[in-house]
Amino acid sequence: MPTTKLHEGVQVRVRDSIAEYQPHALSIEEYAQWRELGIPRFVCFEWTECFFDATNVAQLFCGNELAEKITNNLFRYTFKNQIGHSHIRAEFNDGRIVTTDIEVLSRKFPSIESHLQFFIALIDDLFSQHLALPFEIESPTYFGVDESLEPPTLLFVYHFLSSRARAIEQAIQIILSSPHRLLTVERERIPIYRANRVDVDSIYAMVTHPEQLQPTNANLAIAKKFKGHAPFHIFQDTPTETLDTPENRFVKHFLEILFAWSERLIDHPLFRERESLKQVRGLLEMAKQNPMFDDVGEMTMFPTTSTVLLKRDGYRELLQLYREFNLSRMPIWRAVQDAIDARDIAKLYEYWCLFKLAQELESVCGKAVFKFNFTVEGTLNEGKIVAEFADGSKLAYNQQMASYSSTKPRPDFVFEDNCQRKIIFDAKFRFNQEDGCVESDAIVRTAKEEDISVAHRYKDESQGRASFIIFPNDNPNDDEYYSETGASKRIPFAELVKGNWRGVGAIGMMPTQRSG
């Protein structure tokens, strides 16, 4: 059996004789190439039965599950449906705990390179195509603009900077060309010959401080009143303009936030080569260094009631952008970022299918608007991510359905047309493959039979018109259709949505992988 040493006291061996599927440590070159994505030194493919030779180990955990203890020094575990980041934790008899990070890869991809290329393609498509759909918030938290303790996700910040670059640039240009100024009054002590007026406060100061009066022969009105005496200095209020206003402090604060996040994105391997991001970063850097902000202080309180922010050109648009930016803390983006951090390809594929499916439905049902519903605490209500289309139809994500059976089905997506007829879609990151080389032009992928059975169950329990499995594939010829009439010919997507076709099937959807 091939053997790999994880750390002192634990090594893993497998029965699988296929070399590329052995759990192994990456080479120095491979680790240098992928570690910026968070890939650990050790990788293992799913559905591989692993035997751990462990010395003086009381318990061994793989992920959060306890490995089966066969003998005092031998444990067994198989990673099942756990693609992504995991760990192996050994608890020794002497109380020591040693944890080794490990990446669980899908057997659908023959190498870590092809596995991670698909992972990157998923994220690329989320960035470039499917997060640009408009959305609305249905919760009391929508109108808040105070900063949250929960930071934005890199995914949302990249989307925000990319999609709002032009709006940010225009708002900044308007503000810098005509910044808001505040007329203030500074009380100065000046020589009397420079004074151009005397107010009540100045007279009061002379009366209460007679020691500052000096004899003078000058023909001054003040000297006549004070029997030939006049002050050498006098206090006078001088009006001046300042840029240090609450509104400009807000602008400075927001620009610094955006610039700091652009720096973080540039340092991340998934973003650093994106020209649009570099351009936004340059714009923010130039704006931040503008002399206008030299005398502008730090924002200590948000100017909630400012009419300048609400009505003045440039400031009004930047306030709206700030509100949008704070929506980055919505749980949906946190969930996507968590899936990216864990490299949970199956979950990412599910999110990707949500936006991809909405995009496909837009071409048939008209413009889509996503609506998110949150609790007062800011958590996402289950089944409350809904895309509403121009023709009155809607697509709900993760919504529990009414059913005649005791089990309440919860498919990934439920589409309901304007006649309340339902079509069920369920994303599955798995498939049958005739050969083991995903790069081959002759590859044929089909949905698994058990998943087609799930589609039948969803259709029957929900009394839907049709039910489909969505699986990773980019060849429409591999799609499957099983009509209630027995016909199995391919049906155009528009006809499936708008027509009367009834049955189950499997539709392939695949993110576009960038070249190079």
> Contacts by 311-316 with C-beta closer than 8 Å and gap 24+?
312/180, 312/247, 313/174, 313/178, 314/170, 314/171, 314/172, 314/173, 314/174, 314/175, 314/178, 315/171, 315/175, 315/180, 315/247, 315/251
Q: 50 or 228: which carries more pLDDT confidence?
A: 50
State the pLDDT at residue 441. 52
Give yes or no for residue 325 having a pLDDT over 50. Answer: yes
Token pair for 140: 């009391």
Of the chain, the percentage scoring pLDDT greater than 90 comes to 21
Rounded to 10 degrees, what is the CA torsion of 492, 498, 499, 501? 70
Q: What is the pLDDT of residues 178-187, one digit of tens each?
A: 999 887 766 7
Instruction: Return the sign of the alpha-carbon dihedral for residues 135, 136, 139, 141.
Output: positive
Give yes or no for residue 468 having a pLDDT over 90. Answer: yes
Q: 186 or 253: which carries more pLDDT confidence?
A: 253
DSSP H or E run through 410: none
β-strand partners of 85: 103
Token pair for 503: 């049955």
Give yes or no for residue 82 having a pLDDT over 90. Answer: no
State the pLDDT at residue 256. 94
Give yes or no for residue 5 having a pLDDT over 80. Answer: no
State the pLDDT at residue 8. 67
Backbone dihedral region for residue 501 (phi beyond 0: left; psi -120 to 50: alpha; all else: beta): beta
**Residue recorded with tokens 């994220």:** 123
